[in-house]
């Protein structure tokens, strides 16, 4: 007999012992029925409520933004920073960036599935039913494992609205995003280069844009064209803004110490 065959009886004995051990553990779980968790259910609900309902608020924020964007499209609003719609356009672009930032930060919370699952289990033991927001919230957590890819899909109906708002930066962002050498060569800060013109008031239809920070505009362009990337193939102005924003740096601040590595994310999303 081969050695493997000779040890067959030993293997069966070991497996049988392990089977009995697992039977004991399963039996104990059935009898205990997570007794400790049942005792602590009120504390679990209290401890996780802030986290759980913050996730719910993110979901509602996402749905409300989609609803507002749809309303703008149906009302045929023209979003541009060079008209009387400056405030509306600025607020819309800020919301898009906030939306993208929220869902990216949410996807970076490694315990998000455990939080909503444990909260819902404690809720079910306490009230006899699942939390009413749990199915939608659970689906959102699963859908946004890759947040940028999912947002690109969801923003497809709003591409034209978003890209039009972003392209209106073409007369503002390139002029603001100049190097020190370009400023120096153009003598933009010189008081003696054109003394006769110093007393002439400047007339511009983009005056409110002069108060926008360069960082704000770069976030609009990077996140905006990631979500409406089809405009990069059809509009030269959009591609020009996109290239200029990517040349400005390889990293954007999302919130506090959380950052977004622009070039790597764009390569992962668009190259394939």
Give domain limits for the chain: 40-159, 164-179+207-271
Read off the DSSP letter of residue 133: T
Q: What are phi and psi of 137, to 5 degrees?
A: -65, -45
Angle between helix 214-227 and helix 147-154 axes, rounded to 10 deg:
70
- Residue 115 CA to residue 121 CA, distance in Å, equals 10
- Tell me which residue of 90, 74, 70 sits closest to 82, measured CA to CA: 90
- Residue 54 CA to residue 234 CA, distance in Å, equals 38
Instruction: Read off the pLDDT of residues 88-100 as tens digits, 9 standing for 90 and up.
Output: 899 999 999 999 9
Q: What are the residues whose beta carbons fall under 8 Å from the beta carbon of 180, sequence distance 6 or more?
A: none
β-bridge partners, 260: 252
Place of tokens 């069966």: 12
Q: How many CA atoms lie within 13 A of 269 on its CB side?
A: 22
Read off the DSSP letter of residue 128: S
pLDDT at 96: 92
pLDDT at 198: 67
Cβ neighbours, 10 Å, residue 60? 13
Q: In terms of C-beta density within 10 A (0-12 exposed, 13-18 middle, 19 or more buried), how is residue 260 classed?
A: buried
The stretches in the chain having pLDDT less than 50 are: none
Cβ neighbours, 10 Å, residue 80? 17
pLDDT at 263: 92
Q: Pairing between strand 251-255 and 258-261?
A: antiparallel
Q: How many CA atoms lie within 13 A of 136 on its CB side?
A: 12
Q: Are 98 and 216 in contact (CB under 8 A)?
A: no
pLDDT at 55: 94
Q: What percent of the chain has pLDDT over 90?
A: 48
Q: Which strand (E) or helix (H) includes residue 215?
A: helix 214-227
- Residue 119 CA to residue 270 CA, distance in Å, equals 37
pLDDT at 24: 79
- Residue 248 CA to residue 184 CA, distance in Å, equals 19
Instruction: Read off the pLDDT of residues 107-118 as tens digits, 9 standing for 90 and up.
Output: 999 999 999 999
């Amino acid at each position: 007999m081969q050695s493997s065959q000779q040890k067959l009886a030993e293997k069966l004995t070991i497996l049988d012992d392990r089977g009995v051990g697992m039977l004991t553990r399963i039996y104990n779980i059935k009898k205990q029925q997570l007794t400790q968790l049942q005792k602590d259910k009120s504390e679990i609900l209290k401890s996780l409520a802030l986290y759980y309902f913050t996730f719910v608020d993110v979901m509602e924020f996402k749905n409300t933004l989609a609803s507002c964007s749809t309303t703008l499209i149906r009302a045929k609003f023209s979003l541009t920073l060079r008209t009387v719609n400056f405030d509306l356009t600025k607020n819309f672009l800020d919301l898009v960036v906030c939306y993208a930032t929220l869902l990216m930060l949410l996807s970076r919370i490694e315990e998000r599935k455990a939080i909503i699952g444990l909260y819902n289990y404690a809720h079910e033991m306490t009230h006899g039913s699942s939390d009413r927001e749990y199915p939608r919230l659970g689906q959102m957590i699963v859908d946004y494992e890759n947040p940028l890819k999912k947002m690109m899909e969801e923003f497809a109906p709003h591409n034209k609205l978003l890209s039009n708002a972003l392209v209106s930066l073409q007369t503002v962002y390139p002029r603001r995003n100049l190097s020190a050498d370009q400023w120096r060569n153009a003598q933009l800060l010189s008081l003696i280069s054109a003394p006769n013109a110093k007393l002439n008031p400047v007339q511009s239809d983009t005056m409110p844009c002069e108060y926008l920070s360069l960082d704000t505009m770069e976030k609009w362009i990077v996140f905006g064209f990631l979500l409406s990337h089809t405009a990069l193939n059809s509009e030269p102005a959009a591609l020009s803004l996109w290239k200029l924003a990517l040349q400005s740096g390889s990293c954007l601040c999302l919130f506090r110490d959380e950052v977004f590595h622009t070039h790597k994310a764009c390569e992962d999303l668009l190259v394939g």
